[in-house]
Amino acid sequence: MKNVKMLVFLFLGIALLSFTLNIDFDQTINDNPNVVMAYYVPEKEYAPENLPLEQLTHIIFSFTNVIDGEMKFRHSENGEKLKQLVAQREHHSKLKVMIACGGWGADGFSDMAHTAENRKKFVSSVIEFNKKYDLDGLDIDWEYPAIPAANTGARPEDKQNFTLLMKELRAGLNTLERKQTLTFASAGWERYYKNVEIIEVMKHVDYMNVMTYDQIGSTSPYTGHHTALGLIKLEHIKDTPAWEFIQSRKEEMKKRGYTFKPRSVESIVDFCIENGVEPKQIVIGAAFYGRAWKGVPPKNNGLYQENSGSHIGWSGYNQIRAEFEANKNYNRYWDPVAKAPYLYSAKDSIFISYDDTVSVRLKTQYALKKKLGGIMFWQLGNDTKEENSLLKAMYDASIKGQ
């Protein structure tokens, strides 16, 4: 009995010491309620065993597609690559490995969701797929219900059918022995939410991954931030070429029932919460890539100025760090309103909008402060493989609290 009492006191003493020193002897990233989700496109030079998986809560293998009404890989070799990723759970037991279906330009969603029979067929294929690969969940990346983006099929009924699809997916995934996380990729602009029954959809999903990037495209006639955090207002771009362009299109936009509003993380998060979405279900997005314009004049260091077209449609952060941040002709500027960096070369007349370690840290801290679900990003392979990566900045801010 005496020995038992000594063991009890010893255990209590260790527990108290652990609490006092803020030490967790079995700490993992998943002890933190905020998620850090990575979209991951497999590549030969960045195999699963080399990924910084200890810094993630979820990794979303991208992509499957809707093919003949079922969820399938377009390229069968991706099945083996997915198995290799799932095998890494042996070393990262609390990591959630998910599959994404869809992506930009991916068609087939509207037809698949249009009838109960079609939805049942798709859901059955998802169940079999996730069971086969022993997955932890599914991300639906339908871009976008009722909006024919990138020439994808769309119909007005998509609004209600998207709700039914997510409801039936939830029910189907719940039949699997392994607990399933269900998410969907949503847009970072308000028009999207007119075409989904967002409150109903959120009843059936764990998280909404808000794509708060590509907020301005490479074909834009003026430069801007493509992945801003801060709340940008029209007054902040007044008396710039961007303002002049917007004013020139004001009547045309009015006829289309559209009012221009600068886009940002803070703007769309406020909008979603005001419209009833629970903060804990909102996951904001960071971009591990940038967008660049050429022919940009030096006024305002190139921000909100006209351009002569896209310099690079997109470039991964690994390329930006190696080729542009390190280039003495490029200066880094910080926009305190957008809470976002940009690069500008007066010599080359090139402007680059992107996320860096400072901005992704701020986004992560914002998610924590707002008690959001967490942060995600597109995509892991675009990060630098050197020290001080974008993911490391997120990890430090969310897990280590640095």
| CATH number assigned to the domain comprising residue 66 | 3.20.20.80
pLDDT of residue 156: 98
Q: Report the number of distinct structural domains present in the chain.
A: 1
Other residues' Cβ atoms within 10 Å of the Cβ of residue 129: 20
Active site residues: 143
> Other CB atoms closer than 10 Å to residue 190's CB: what's the count?
16
In a domain, 97, yes or no: yes
Q: Which residues pair with 72 in a beta bridge?
A: 65
315 belongs to a structural domain: no
Instruction: Give residue-wise pLDDT tens across range 375-396.
Output: 999 999 999 999 999 999 999 9
Low-confidence ranges of the chain (pLDDT < 50): 1-32, 402
Taking a C-beta distance cutoff of 8 angstroms, is the pair 209, 185 a contact?
yes
Task: Output the pLDDT for position 6.
Answer: 45
d(CA 210, CA 196): 14
pLDDT at position 33: 63
Structure confidence at residue 17 (pLDDT): 40
Task: Tell me whether residue 254 is in a domain.
Answer: yes
In a domain, 214, yes or no: yes
Its domain, for residue 112, covers 29-288+356-400
Task: Determine, yes or no, domain membership for 2.
Answer: no
Q: Is the peptide bond before 133 cis (omega within 30 degrees of 0)?
A: no
Question: What pTM does this model have?
Answer: 0.91
Q: In what side-by-side order are the strands of the sheet with 331-335? A: 309-316, 289-294, 350-353, 340-345, 331-335
User: Residue 401: its pLDDT value, please?
Assistant: 64
pLDDT number for residue 23: 34
Q: Please report which helix (H) or strand (E) contains residue 310, including its range.
A: strand 309-316
Residues 6+ apart with CB under 8 A from 89: 95, 97
pLDDT tens column, 50-72: 999 999 999 999 999 999 999 99
Handedness of CA 234, 150, 127, 111 (dihedral sign): positive
Asked whether residue 308 is assigned to any structural domain, the reply reads: no
The answer to whether residue 369 is domain-embedded is yes
Please indicate, yes or no, if residue 334 is contained in any of the structural domains.
no
Question: What pLDDT sits at residue 399?
Answer: 73
Structure tokens at 192: 């999207």
Q: Cis ω on the peptide bond leading into residue 84 (within 30° of 0)?
A: no
